[in-house]
Amino acid sequence: MKDKQLSVSAIKEGTVIDHVPAGVLFKVVSILKLDKVGTMITIGNNLESKKLGHKGIIKISKVFFEDNEINKIALVAPSAKLNIIREYEVVEKKVVTIPDEIVGIVKCVNPKCITNNEKVTTRFDVVSKPEVRLRCHYCEKITDRDNIEIL
């Protein structure tokens, strides 16, 4: 049986974030602060996917992200693919890449770190991109992918 109906309806203009692993979809929503976006957003999660098993998809109308903004989601969803939509057509496809430095998104895993005890913006150097290992600029401890908690 072929079911060609889209689970999440198309948008006219904007950004589609596809191939988001189902478990991190809402982390992506929070990293991009989509709760503060006023335009139409449709979200599908736990959709069947040949590549990921289950995936999530986010369609954001009339919003186009800067690369440094959208690349932040590579921390939790390195497999995510972006489609830029104009007049219902995909005009550009992008993948996400982890930036060299992460400022203010991730919580340091070390409870004795100054950033967890005083009002300080967190900062990390990305020491390994494939494994997602972040070294705290302050306490020098490593926060790895399994321990990433989004602020």
Partner 1 sequence: MKNKNLVSITDFSKEEYLRILELAAEFEMKPRQDILRGYVISTLFFEPSTRTRLSFETAINGLGGRVIGFTDSGATSTAKGETLYDTIKMVSNYADLIVMRHPLEGSAKLASEISSVPIVNAGDGANQHPTQTLLDMYSIQKTQGTLDGLKIFMVGDLKYGRTVHSLLMAMSRFNTTFYFISPEELMLPAVYKLHLDKMGLEYHEGKDLAEFLPEADIIYMTRVQQERFTDPIEYERVKNAYVLRRNMLEGTRETMKVLHPLPRVNEIHTDVDDSPHAYYFQQARNGVFVRMAILSAILGVK
Structure tokens belonging to residue 46: 């736990």
Separation of alpha carbons 105 and 68, rounded Å: 13
Structure tokens belonging to residue 100: 């060299």
Which of residues 103 and 114 has its CB atom nearest to partner 1 in the complex? 114
| Paired residues of 99 in beta bridges | none
Nearest distance, CB of residue 126 and partner 1, angstroms: 16
Which of residues 69 and 144 has its CB atom nearest to partner 1 in the complex? 144
Q: What is the contact surface with partner 1 in residues (CB under 8 A)?
A: 110, 112-115, 117-120, 136-142
Nearest distance, CB of residue 76 and partner 1, angstroms: 24
Q: Which of 47, 33, 150 is nearest to 18 (CA)?
A: 47
Which of residues 20 and 105 has its CB atom nearest to partner 1 in the complex? 105
3-state DSSP call for residue 71? helix
Which of residues 16 and 105 has its CB atom nearest to partner 1 in the complex? 105
**Residue 68 CB: number of other CB atoms within 10 A?**
8
Distances (CA, A) of 98 to 58, 70, 77, 130, 142: 19, 10, 10, 9, 16
Position 91: which residue type? V
Which of residues 98 and 113 has its CB atom nearest to partner 1 in the complex? 113
Nearest distance, CB of residue 113 and partner 1, angstroms: 5
3-state DSSP call for residue 35? helix
Nearest distance, CB of residue 103 and partner 1, angstroms: 13
Nearest distance, CB of residue 127 and partner 1, angstroms: 10
